[in-house]
Amino acid sequence: MSIIIETMKGAKTEEVPVWIMRQAGRYLPEYRKLRATLPSFMEFCLNPEVVSEATIQPLKRFDLDAAIIFSDILVLPYALGVNVEFHNREGPKLKRVQGIKGLRTDSRILEKVNSALKITQQKMQKEFPNKALIGFAGAPWTVACYMVEGKGSKDFTNVRKFYYSNKQAFEDIISMLTEETANHLINQVKSGAQIIKIFDSWAGILTPDLFEKFVIDPTKKIVQMVKLEVGEIPIIGFAKGAGFMTFEYAKTTGISCVAVDQTMKMSWIRENLGQDIIPQGNLDNALLFSDKNDIEEEAIKILDTFSDCPFIFNLGHGILPETPIESIEHLVKVIKSYKKCSQINK
């Protein structure tokens, strides 16, 4: 069994498992070469063979404990019939949605993701038998933000305005996305994902009441639906920017592991959540542009905080495209050479 799955089940392992958000991506020259083989990003995401290769590339370079399937959270709205385009340096552009009329899932699109998982799982069983495979989806709130806004935003003010003036329409969108996200994750598990992660990248812009309504409640329902269909499966939840709402999010949604961003003090996470749920995080991704001593010092601080309990090391957000490969190599080396205190197995 992979060390990361052991940790997700609450085992106290001597080594700390590590994987990195966006570990497959533009900072790798081999990824850039592979990406150049197809004209559009969505076409790339829906080609099972190249997706499988991109997913495994980081495992060939670094001693990571898991691969995460290469995909995008906007594959789901694309499958629902929303036009999605990606433009260099401009981010995604979507046809704006104002309700659920006309939205219908094209299962053939999502089956491409499932096929990529199946291919990747077969490869990993041969090449990396002790590594885990992670599937993922965007959370309903975050995906709805892009669908209603039609593009990225710093604060999605237009989406919040849309909700307040079109409550039923927006709630219908969230309800539909909750159902479709759960089904998408269920099929990923059936296709070989051993862990799943729910990304709520824009959770932090909501009021506490709306956070409960649009982040906690849909996540809780997704977790329940997934477990009802496939049984117990390790689930990571990431409500970026949640702040003090992280406590309620972790305690009430049913997730196995709570990922936290770099704005959270890990000692607070340890004191308030460390005994009940597995924490994951939270090195500042920008720190990887510093020197090796700074990287090591900050990594050790985080590792020491969780030296006597299960913990998964990751960044506070995804790897930045220009990140030096040497920094990742050094970070992983530091984590893998770190041994938890001798009391861990007592």
Residue numbers annotated as active site: 22, 26, 35, 72, 146
Reading the block at residue 103, the tokens are 């939205």
In single-letter form, the type of residue at position 248 comes to E
Q: Terminus-to-terminus CA distance in the chain, angstroms?
A: 22
DSSP character string of 142-164: HHHHHHHHSB--SS-HHHHHHHH
What are the phi and psi torsion angles at 133 (to 5°)?
A: -115, 125
d(CA 198, CA 177): 13
Q: Which among 293, 282, 243, 241 is positioned nearest to 259, based on CA atoms? A: 282
Distances (CA, A) of 178 to 183, 198, 247: 9, 11, 22
**Can the peptide bond before residue 293 be classed as cis, meaning omega within 30 degrees of 0?**
no
What are the phi and psi torsion angles at 342 (to 5°)?
A: -65, -15
b/e per residue, 124-158, with b = 16+ CB within 10 A? Answer: beeebeebbbbbbbbbbbbbbbbbbbbeeeeebee
d(CA 320, CA 327): 12
Q: Which among 156, 108, 190, 131 is positioned nearest to 5, based on CA atoms? A: 131
In single-letter form, the type of residue at position 58 comes to P
- Largest alpha-carbon pair distance within the chain? 59
